[in-house]
Amino acid sequence: MKKPNAKERILETAAGLFFQRGYSGVGINEIIEKAGTAKASFYQHYPSKESLCEAWLKSVHEKSEAFAETLLGGPGSASEKAAAYFEHLERLLVESGYRGCPYSNTGALSVEKSPGICRQIRLHKESTRRRFRQIAALAIADPAEAELVGDTLFVLQSGAMGEAQNLRETWPVEVARRAAVALLER
Amino acid sequence: MKKPNAKERILETAAGLFFQRGYSGVGINEIIEKAGTAKASFYQHYPSKESLCEAWLKSVHEKSEAFAETLLGGPGSASEKAAAYFEHLERLLVESGYRGCPYSNTGALSVEKSPGICRQIRLHKESTRRRFRQIAALAIADPAEAELVGDTLFVLQSGAMGEAQNLRETWPVEVARRAAVALLER
DNA sequence: GACTTTACAGACAAGTCTGTCTGTTTATGT
DNA sequence: ACATAAACAGACAGACTTGTCTGTAAAGTC
């Protein structure tokens, strides 16, 4: 703790603010003020606000990947892994005040986002899709069928996060979890 | 055509711009310029930008309800209705350049949206959820099971729209449609 | 013809935003 | 002790934002 350097402090502060209020809802001035740095220091480390957004999405992705790897590497059947994943999401959702998926929230802005931000979103989403396909492959022998089920889990998860955010309720996640388990145990 | 009054012209112009670039991505100045009205005329009809957003969401909801009613009232089995719904969504998605769901996109902004906007989002989402439960009830006798399947269709649909938008591809909608049909024909 | 409503044009206020700049202070390594 | 690098404070530019205001012009109505 104590005092990480300015760059890390900026990233951590921005991560909290971007997540809670969205990329377009937070300004540079607030970020540097809460991070306790000067504006000049900010622009020494990040050429623009967009580049900070990219760095934020990248750091979220790394944490997400770490969780997915421990989950996939651990014990349990495919449906148990999927259920654990959805329960994890539900926990995050409630803890964060129903803030949903950072990537989807960022992607919902204008079309004219920077190519770098769009790329981070695609990378994360494709990676998540791959994870679900891996889980599905554990339970389903036919490769084509496993891919379809994996993609379905991916869509279910995304819809669950989005609608839980819109309605500020957890039932979409529970519904998605039950559907996922049913698909994997069939 | 020709010349509707200023209020309608503003609403139609704002509808196009809000849908395409998001609520926060469009300013009053651009709306009135493209609508060909004066700023004073705008504030004579709408007390604020937020109230215009509410009016927009309300008008989208009305069109959506009209489509859902003709679909539900028409012929065809539950799974046929659901498939038609997803095909309709896919068409809209491609036509609009993958702009996803206006409600989810608006809801993805900050937490501190106006209560009126939040209310419109909730109203529409709950209404959509009810439609899917109605469709499910056509195919499934047990009421509790029909409600669960209806909610699952709702979540699938939302995830499909969101991820198709993020990835700019249509496969999430197709995956969701196939999953929906499978759920209803089981 | 006078009156009222509606819409026009556009300046203006007051605030936001990102990004640049100048100059000072602090810390570190040699 | 001294040089170099990093972070500091904060003014500033320029472009946006929403919303208010003054005043004018064109309609329809009594």
Instruction: Say which CATH architecture domain A1-46 belongs to.
Output: Orthogonal Bundle (1.10)
Mean pLDDT along residues A50-73: 95
Residue type, A42: F
From first to last of its 186 residues, what are the pLDDT tens digits of chain B?
335 687 889 999 999 999 999 999 999 999 999 998 999 999 999 999 999 999 999 999 999 999 999 999 999 999 999 999 999 999 999 999 999 999 999 999 875 678 999 999 999 999 999 999 999 999 999 999 999 999 999 999 999 999 999 999 999 999 999 999 999 997
List the single residue in A with minimal CA-CA distance to B121. Answer: A166
Mean pLDDT along residues A49-56: 94
Residues A117-161: tens digit of each pLDDT: 999 999 999 999 999 999 999 999 999 999 999 999 999 999 999
**Quick one: pLDDT at residue B3?**
54
- The partner residue sitting opposite A110, judged by closest CB among B25, B107, B110, is B25
Instruction: Say which CATH architecture domain A50-185 belongs to.
Output: Orthogonal Bundle (1.10)
Longest CA–CA span in chain A (Å) reads 58
Q: How far is CA A105 from CA A47, A91, A159, B180, in A?
A: 23, 18, 12, 25
**Contact between B21 and A159 using a beta-carbon 8 Å cutoff:** no
Strand C contact residues in chain A (118-137), C-beta within 7 Å:
none
**Quick one: pLDDT at residue A4?**
64
**Quick one: pLDDT at residue B111?**
59
Please identify which residue in the block is written with the tokens 């490769």: A143
CA distance B15 to B38: 18
> Does residue A44 register a pLDDT over 70?
yes
- The partner residue sitting opposite B108, judged by closest CB among A100, A122, A158, is A100
Question: Do B1-46 and B53-185 come out as alike in CATH topology?
Answer: no
**Quick one: pLDDT at residue A154?**
98
Residue whose C-alpha is closest to residue A131's, from A150, A103, A157, A156: A150
**Quick one: pLDDT at residue A6?**
78
Tokens of A148: 């379809």
How many residues in chain B? Answer: 186
**Quick one: pLDDT at residue A114?**
85
Mean pLDDT along residues A161-176: 97
CA distance B50 to A9: 35
Q: Is the CB of B41 less than 7 A from some atom of nucleic acid strand C?
A: yes
Q: Which nucleotide C1' is nearest B42 CA?
A: C7
**Contact between B110 and A25 using a beta-carbon 8 Å cutoff:** yes
Strand C bases, protein C-beta under 7 A = 6-11, 16-23
Mean pLDDT along residues A34-41: 89
**Contact between A166 and B122 using a beta-carbon 8 Å cutoff:** yes
Hey, where are the domains in chain B?
Answer: 1-46, 53-185
CA distance A14 to B174: 36
- The partner residue sitting opposite A107, judged by closest CB among B155, B166, B175, is B166
Topology at the third CATH level for domain B53-185:
Tetracycline Repressor; domain 2 (1.10.357)
> Does residue A172 register a pLDDT over 80?
yes
- Residues 6+ positions from A105 with CB-CB distance below 8 Å: A22, A23, A99, A165, B108
Mean pLDDT along residues A37-63: 93
**Contact between B162 and A159 using a beta-carbon 8 Å cutoff:** yes
